[in-house]
Chain A
Amino acid sequence: MNQPHEQKVPPRLALAHISKSFPGVKANDDVSLSVGRGEIHALLGENGAGKSTLVKILYGVQQADEGSIAWDGEIVSIPSPKAARQLGIGMVFQHFSLFDAMTVIENIALGLDEAVDRDVLKARVAAILDSYSLPLDPEREVHTLSVGERQRIEIVRCLLQKPKLLIMDEPTSVLTPQEVEKLFGTLRQIAAEGCAILYISHKLDEIKALCETATILRGGRVVASCDPRTETTRRMAELMIGAELRQLERAAGDRAGAARLAVAGLSLPGEPPFGTDLEGLSFEARAGEILGIAGVAGNGQSELLTALSGERLAERSEAILLDGKPVGQLGAGPRRALGLACVPEERNGHAAVPDFSLAENTVLTARHRLPLAPLGVISGRDVLRFTDAIIKRFDVRTTSPAAPAQSLSGGNLQKFIMGREIGQEPGVLVVCQPTWGVDAGAAAAIRQELVDLAAKGSAVVVISQDLDELLELSDRLCIINEGRLSPPRAVASYGIDEIGLMMGGIHGEAGPAAGAAHA
């Protein structure tokens, strides 16, 4: 059982010639791959490459149009997730389905196919937590847990069913480096016991560290299959995006000038029920620099963004200074007019209106700095001209400025939104997750635009969970944890371990929650 490459035994899972179409797009096109027992197999590809569709077919959420699935050598059909679980397939989704107001054990009980006696379940959960040495308190309520702990709930749910194949969908996107290490340990142990693991990601370093085989998807097809341990990350990235990667170009040296955005002692209670309180945040973003704010999701990033954008007002006007002017009590419109532009993380429904056309979405945030609506009457011609300019400059793939925002792919909409803000030449730009869900080519273009904007004398603040991105982009970096911000320091002065510890809440004076999370 423990030998992954035994020849006579059929592979645990073999997909043959799987195809699946949706209106207007072929999500999977003749995909074949096989996963052996105890093998950790990476499924690598950009957003929209067809990874999710393939996994949904495997887990019984969707049905393939063509092709077959062989399980331990036998052709099977998987009509539902329940059927998948009965075969022995477990899946940990990128977005957890947990009830915040219930305890860990209650959430586990809810996810089971059959009713299990509470005490029996407790004993089985305790046994799993013990044998994989997973730190998790079954009696805690979920909203008090870190993202890593929540993920462990989902893993325990799967392990309870003694899976023969475990699917992990982008499991590390919201974890600290330490949590990632911990997760990898667990996964290696699971694999060593003979369970096959299908590991979906676009993070190449992780795949190199964890996986022994990688299948690379692009545009719904398998473009390559390789051993990631011997392949270079650059080569894999190029296979994944199908083009040469662009290097970020930036002038060397310290270019930072005067402070353009100064935040001093900004505190704001979180929005109920589970919002994070901001507690005494202070930082400066200077002309010509990119300031990175790292942190694990849910530690106050979205609260910080809405406090800066003016969607929520600060208690004191002086808490936020824009080019020396107090703006803490000004609304979103006046702040933008003074040169503070913000891009929130959520594209649909926050940064853009899905039902509106791109041209109408231009009006949403650009009307304060550009003469798009003199005297309250919208000038269709000027709006169209600016929208066209964004589409051209940022290579937004769309049929026309009249196309509804919801018809664009996530990456293209993000390019449009970034273009709308950068095109207004703001003095200060605050962006949350600028390249979230954007393909590597577009991400490189967006990062380049941020660098260029800073080079022109604006201050750029990037709030992100993607540490690689922050390390590449930022001049200075600070870390947000539980609504508190560490003082910014030059990126070069950090070790990666130190950043990870700070993201997990260890600042020298470790809080009690942080201690529990990383005991």
Chain B
Amino acid sequence: MLEWRRRREPSSAMLWLSPVIAIALTMLLGMIVFTAMGYDGFHGVESIFLRPFLEPQRWADLGVKAAPLVMIALGLAIGFRANVWNIGAEGQYIMGAIAGTGVALATYEMTGWWILPAMALAGVLGGMAWAAIPALLRVRLQVSEILTSLMLTYVAVQVLYFLVRGPWKDPDGFNFPQTRMFTADQTLPAMMEGSLVHLGIPVALLIALVAWLVLERTTAGYAVKVVGLAPAAARHGGFSAGTVTWATLLASGGLAGLAGLFEAAGPFGQLTPQFPVGYGFTAIIVAFLGRLHPLGIVLGGIVLAATYVGGEIAQSTVRLPQAATGMFQALLLFMLLATDVLVKYRIVWKARAA
């Protein structure tokens, strides 16, 4: 019979292999589920997980979708390392976009190179401000940041709806609930002529690199890890859990806010009620798929971006419903949590003892 046996040390091979196993299991299980539902399951999975990588014309789209996921997930992962569970990145993402759009609308008649950086700064500050609320409540009153950050997401959505339907509605927009289109000075420059690829992609990679160095080589990164692993030891070593909570929530809020601004000033070019697409939630899966490691998160972001891009392909090739994307993402998280047990345990075949 099969038996779980605890490893003496966590397996470092499994640490990296378990996400791969999880992806494989997700593909297999997805195939079975959609075949059972009467779809062409094999080609559905192929469309979602392979086509985006095999067709070069999809790569730009992959990068555009991966950039915000990676950016948000980096911030979240730093917090998760410290046992600070920011589940409300979606709200901070929206608030960042709103703050940046505020700058855009205020500078509508102006031109200058400084406008985009000002918008980016506003985006970061907007996300930080939204994350500061859970930070304050957790540090001062020991309120769980899981609940407050999540609930604030829905507040952010309502603020967005209010603004685009009310004070910020485009005066020349035939009463559609949306803001003005951003001007050229307010839009992210394309990296390649005529493509969607924008500045967000190199910025996301740069942030991943910085996050990696900070986590591995600085006392600040050390503080994050030690507070997460052993709070009493952290106190003994002179690290303050409150400071780390503040710093990680502000960092993750700021990065989510920046991602939101990039999305508004990039692919969208304005704010509309359709702006929140759930990147803030999907980024949680990215963070875990990347094992909370900055470089792993870059890979994880690309995989999850593929589920968005591939989900669209599968809609046209095998007529999978749009909800298939969400299902695959959820399945992936589920498998990820399940295969994680392999890191600390191994399976042994054991003849039944007498």
Q: Given the complex, which residues of A lie within 8 Å of B225, measured CB to CB?
A: 356
A308 → B minimal CB distance (Å): 12
Question: What total of chain B residues lie within 8 Å of the partner, measured CB to CB?
Answer: 18
**Is B219 interfacial (CB-CB < 8 Å)?**
yes
Q: Given the complex, which residues of A lie within 8 Å of B233, measured CB to CB?
A: 349-353, 364
**Is B236 interfacial (CB-CB < 8 Å)?**
yes
**Is B8 interfacial (CB-CB < 8 Å)?**
yes
**Is B20 interfacial (CB-CB < 8 Å)?**
no
State which residues 15-36 of A face B: CB under 8 Å.
23-24
Across the interface, A378 reaches (CB within 8 A) one of B9, B222, B230, B232, namely B222
State which residues 348-362 of A face B: CB under 8 Å.
349-356, 360
Assess whether A346 is in contact with B218, with CB atoms less than 8 Å apart.
no
**Is B191 interfacial (CB-CB < 8 Å)?**
no
Nearest-CB residue, chain A, relative to B221 = A378
Compute how far the CA of A377 lies from the CA of B230 in the bound complex, rounded to whole angstroms: 21
Assess whether B236 is in contact with A378, with CB atoms less than 8 Å apart.
no
Knowing A349-B233, A351-B233 touch, does A373 contact B219 (C-beta < 8 A)? yes
Q: Given the complex, which residues of B lie within 8 Å of A407, measured CB to CB?
A: 8-9
Knowing A373-B219, A377-B217 touch, does A332 contact B235 (C-beta < 8 A)? yes
Compute how far the CA of A353 lies from the CA of B222 in the bound complex, rounded to whole angstroms: 12
Across the interface, B236 reaches (CB within 8 A) one of A365, A376, A404, namely A365
Compute how far the CA of A331 lies from the CA of B232 in the bound complex, rounded to whole angstroms: 14
**Is A300 interfacial (CB-CB < 8 Å)?**
no
Assess whether B8 is in contact with A310, with CB atoms less than 8 Å apart.
no
Question: What total of chain A residues lie within 8 Å of the partner, measured CB to CB?
Answer: 36
**Is A336 interfacial (CB-CB < 8 Å)?**
yes
Knowing A353-B229, A356-B229, A364-B226 touch, does A332 contact B237 (C-beta < 8 A)? yes
| Chain B 223-242 interface 0/1 with A at a Cβ cutoff of 8 Å (1 = within) | 00110011011011110100
Q: Given the complex, which residues of B lie within 8 Å of A380, measured CB to CB?
A: 217
**Is A368 interfacial (CB-CB < 8 Å)?**
yes
Q: Given the complex, which residues of A lie within 8 Å of B232, measured CB to CB?
A: 346, 349-350
Q: Given the complex, which residues of A lie within 8 Å of B230, measured CB to CB?
A: 349-350, 353-355
Q: Given the complex, which residues of B lie within 8 Å of A331, measured CB to CB?
A: 238, 240
**Is B17 interfacial (CB-CB < 8 Å)?**
no
**Is B220 interfacial (CB-CB < 8 Å)?**
yes
Compute how far the CA of A376 lies from the CA of B9 in the bound complex, rounded to whole angstroms: 30
Assess whether B236 is in contact with A344, with CB atoms less than 8 Å apart.
yes
Assess whether B222 is in contact with A332, with CB atoms less than 8 Å apart.
no
Most chain A CB atoms below 10 A, which of B9, B236, B240: B236
**Is A265 interfacial (CB-CB < 8 Å)?**
no
Knowing A404-B9, A407-B8 touch, does A350 contact B236 (C-beta < 8 A)? yes
Assess whether A24 is in contact with B8, with CB atoms less than 8 Å apart.
yes
A426 → B minimal CB distance (Å): 14
Nearest-CB residue, chain A, relative to B226 = A353
Assess whether B9 is in contact with A367, with CB atoms less than 8 Å apart.
no
Nearest-CB residue, chain B, relative to A360 = B222
Assess whether B9 is in contact with A364, with CB atoms less than 8 Å apart.
no
Q: Given the complex, which residues of A lie within 8 Å of B217, measured CB to CB?
A: 377-378, 380
Assess whether B229 is in contact with A355, with CB atoms less than 8 Å apart.
yes
State which residues 367-419 of A face B: CB under 8 Å.
367-368, 373, 376-378, 380, 404, 406-407
Knowing A378-B219, A378-B222 touch, does A351 contact B229 (C-beta < 8 A)? no
Q: Given the complex, which residues of B lie within 8 Å of A373, measured CB to CB?
A: 218-219, 222
**Is A151 interfacial (CB-CB < 8 Å)?**
no
**Is A458 interfacial (CB-CB < 8 Å)?**
no
Compute how far the CA of A356 lies from the CA of B9 in the bound complex, rounded to whole angstroms: 12
State which residues 184-238 of B face A: CB under 8 Å.
217-220, 222, 225-226, 229-230, 232-233, 235-238
Q: Given the complex, which residues of B lie within 8 Å of A336, measured CB to CB?
A: 238
A190 → B minimal CB distance (Å): 36
A183 → B minimal CB distance (Å): 32
Compute how far the CA of A377 lies from the CA of B213 in the bound complex, rounded to whole angstroms: 9
Knowing A23-B8, A407-B8 touch, does A376 contact B219 (C-beta < 8 A)? yes
Nearest-CB residue, chain B, relative to A346 = B232
State which residues 112-142 of B face A: CB under 8 Å.
none
Compute how far the CA of A454 lies from the CA of B182 in the bound complex, rounded to whole angstroms: 72
Assess whether A332 is in contact with B236, with CB atoms less than 8 Å apart.
yes
**Is A309 interfacial (CB-CB < 8 Å)?**
yes
B162 → A minimal CB distance (Å): 42
A352 → B minimal CB distance (Å): 6
**Is A198 interfacial (CB-CB < 8 Å)?**
no
Most chain A CB atoms below 10 A, which of B9, B220, B238: B238
Compute how far the CA of A356 lies from the CA of B219 in the bound complex, rounded to whole angstroms: 14
**Is A311 interfacial (CB-CB < 8 Å)?**
yes
A314 → B minimal CB distance (Å): 15
**Is A333 interfacial (CB-CB < 8 Å)?**
yes
Q: Given the complex, which residues of A lie within 8 Å of B219, measured CB to CB?
A: 363, 367, 373, 376-378
Q: Given the complex, which residues of A lie within 8 Å of B229, measured CB to CB?
A: 353-356
Nearest-CB residue, chain A, relative to B237 = A364
Beyond A346-B232, A349-B233, A364-B236: 11 further Cβ-contacts under 8 Å?
A332-B235, A350-B230, A350-B236, A353-B233, A356-B225, A360-B222, A364-B233, A365-B236, A373-B218, A373-B219, A378-B218
> Can you report 20 A-B residue pairs in the complex whose CB atoms are below 8 A from each other?
A306-B235, A311-B235, A331-B238, A331-B240, A332-B235, A332-B237, A349-B233, A352-B233, A353-B230, A354-B229, A356-B226, A363-B222, A365-B237, A373-B219, A376-B218, A376-B219, A376-B220, A377-B217, A377-B219, A378-B219
Residues of A within 8 A of B (CB): 23-24, 306, 309-311, 331-334, 336, 342, 344, 346, 349-356, 360, 363-365, 367-368, 373, 376-378, 380, 404, 406-407
Enumerate the 10 nearest inter-chain pairs by beta-carbon distance, A residue then B residue, closest first.
Answer: A333-B238, A332-B238, A364-B237, A353-B230, A350-B232, A349-B230, A311-B235, A353-B233, A373-B219, A376-B219
